[in-house]
Amino acid sequence: MDEPRTIFHVDMDAFFASVEIRDDPGLLGKPVLVGGVARRGVVAAASYEARKFGCRSAQPMAVALRLCPHAVVLPGRFEAYAEASDRAFEVFDQFSPVVEGLSIDEAFLDMTGTTRLFGAPAVAAEKLRAAVRDATSGLTCSVGISAVKFLAKIASGHRKPDGLTEIPPGAELEFLRPLPIEELWGVGPKTAERLRAHGITTIADLERVGRPALEHWFGSSGVHLHELAHAMDPREVVPSRDRKQISHEDTYAVDVVGEAAIRRKLLSQATRVADRLVAKSVVAKRVQLKIRDTDFRTETRQCTLRPGTDDARVLYKAACDLLQGVEIEGRSFRLTGVGAGDLVPRGVQGAQLDLLPPEPNARGIVEPVRLQGVLSAVRSKFGHKALFPAEAGGEARPDSAGGLSDTREED
Ligand SMILES: [Mg+2]
């Protein structure tokens, strides 16, 4: 007999602002805004105290400060947020093998079949919330539980902060009906406006209208709306492909201006990432550049590398190529980061890595010698230019005329 699906949506409460308040108890009870203070800066997070004044994330900072002039504005400490996020996701991983990260502070967990391990869904959710609190030194999260994916997400927002909302199987429509249409995933201000023009303001209205009318007005997205209004959502929790990326980013106290300065930061970050790749015996098939300006606008760009690499120079070159797509003129930057994703164990990515004959290792076990490792060893001894694996079957050569242009593709 099939157990019904159990999906959790876990969402940290006012995440950036909560990390700031945790680390500086003097902020407790004060309206806190994390974000850019420069001319076009935006709010990245608003504490619940600030939300009482109408402040919210993605709002222009100037607007937020008009609503709440006495708010404490902080520039953000992204390493602290990444660290707290790692702790929370480690807890998620302990509760479910199927974790789909949606952002730095929220995830879906497929909890189907975990009752014997953690108890009934609501019991398991309280255990998870307590574990997150412990692991993050006091940060709270809210959890929504449902058999239907999008409903779990709506539910987690229902009793924020520090809340738990369970929609038992069979109670989905009852939960949905009174909600305003904006609560549905994919109903933005424009769709909402059009629906209102037809007299539809709640999900109950949407349910009543029926599929033919919705399809007539909105085409295929009308069919989708009809399904959501009837709590039909067959989407599964899909484990994040690239959550376990290795990245290094820094937030700077002094703004970084100009391409040369940015490149210097990227070189040091690529080197740190490469060191961690080597230490973990993995290669990355994807490189990500992240950059944030003083207006708090964040850009991420990524490209694919074939074959994968753990070479700092290849990562650096790829990050610099990605930087070409970023408008640098007239902007100053507060954060840069290099990330390496699509990690695979070194040696499994292609036969070209196994060109050398097997040799017994220290314990007498025969292992294929990994060319990449040999080359790294040679480079670290004689310098990077000592050896390029021209015969190794298309290894990216960072200094070659064509650069990475023929081994990368936009993702
Ligand atoms: Mg959140």
> Which is higher by pLDDT, 381 or 33?
33
Question: Which of 86, 110, 80 minimizes the C-alpha distance to 3?
Answer: 110
What's the whole-model pTM score?
A: 0.65
Q: Write a three-state SS string for 14-63.
A: CHHHHHHHHHCHHHCCCCEEEECCCCCCEEEEECHHHHCCCCCCCCEHHH
Residue 162, domain member (yes or no): no
- pLDDT value at 405 more than 80: no
Last residue within a domain, chosen from 25, 55, 78: 78
How many Å apart are CA 225 and CA 182, to the nearest integer? Answer: 11
**Domain shared by 265 and 402, yes or no:** yes
- Cα-to-centroid distance, 290 and ligand 1 (Å): 21
Confidence class for position 343, pLDDT limits 50, 70, 90: confident
Last residue within a domain, chosen from 33, 58, 78: 78
**Domain shared by 191 and 290, yes or no:** no
Read off the CATH number of the domain in which 393 is found. 3.30.1490.100
Residue 149, domain member (yes or no): no
Last residue within a domain, chosen from 78, 95, 126: 78
Calculate the average pLDDT of the chain. 83
pLDDT in tens, 216-271: 998 988 999 999 999 999 889 988 755 578 889 888 888 999 999 999 999 999 99
Predicted pLDDT at 3: 62
Q: How many domains does the chain have?
A: 3
Confidence class for position 151, pLDDT limits 50, 70, 90: very high
Confidence class for position 189, pLDDT limits 50, 70, 90: confident
**Domain shared by 333 and 366, yes or no:** yes
pLDDT in tens, 1-16: 456 799 999 999 999 9
- Cα-to-centroid distance, 55 and ligand 1 (Å): 15
Evaluate the CA torsion angle 153, 157, 159, 160 in order and state its sign.
positive
- pLDDT value at 283 more than 50: yes
- Cα-to-centroid distance, 104 and ligand 1 (Å): 8
- Cα-to-centroid distance, 200 and ligand 1 (Å): 29
**Domain shared by 205 and 269, yes or no:** no
**Domain shared by 262 and 375, yes or no:** yes
Residue 116, domain member (yes or no): no
- Cα-to-centroid distance, 377 and ligand 1 (Å): 44
- Cα-to-centroid distance, 86 and ligand 1 (Å): 14
**Domain shared by 250 and 365, yes or no:** yes
Read off the CATH number of the domain in which 195 is found. 1.10.150.20
**Domain shared by 261 and 377, yes or no:** yes
Predicted pLDDT at 381: 40
**Domain shared by 213 and 266, yes or no:** no
* Mean pLDDT, range 71-77, rounded to an integer: 92
What dihedral do alpha carbons 58, 62, 68, 73 form, nearest 10°?
80
Predicted pLDDT at 403: 26
* Mean pLDDT, range 33-56, rounded to an integer: 91
Options 20, 49, 106, 395, the catalytic residue:
106
Q: Could you tell me which residues come within 8 angstroms of residue 185 by beta carbon, excluding any fewer than 6 positions away?
A: 150, 153, 154, 228
Q: Is 391 a catalytic residue?
A: no
Predicted pLDDT at 393: 32
Residue 323, domain member (yes or no): yes
How many Å apart are CA 224 and CA 153, to the nearest integer? Answer: 17
Read off the CATH number of the domain in which 62 is found. 3.40.1170.60
pLDDT above 70 coverage of the chain, percent:
82
What dihedral do alpha carbons 280, 239, 241, 288 form, nearest 10°?
-90
Residue 399's domain spans which residues? 246-410
Residue 20, domain member (yes or no): yes
Predicted pLDDT at 212: 95
Q: What are the structure tokens assigned to 354, written together?
A: 């196994």
- Cα-to-centroid distance, 142 and ligand 1 (Å): 8
Q: What are the structure tokens assigned to 374, written together?
A: 């040999």
How many Å apart are CA 319 and CA 275, to the nearest integer? Answer: 16
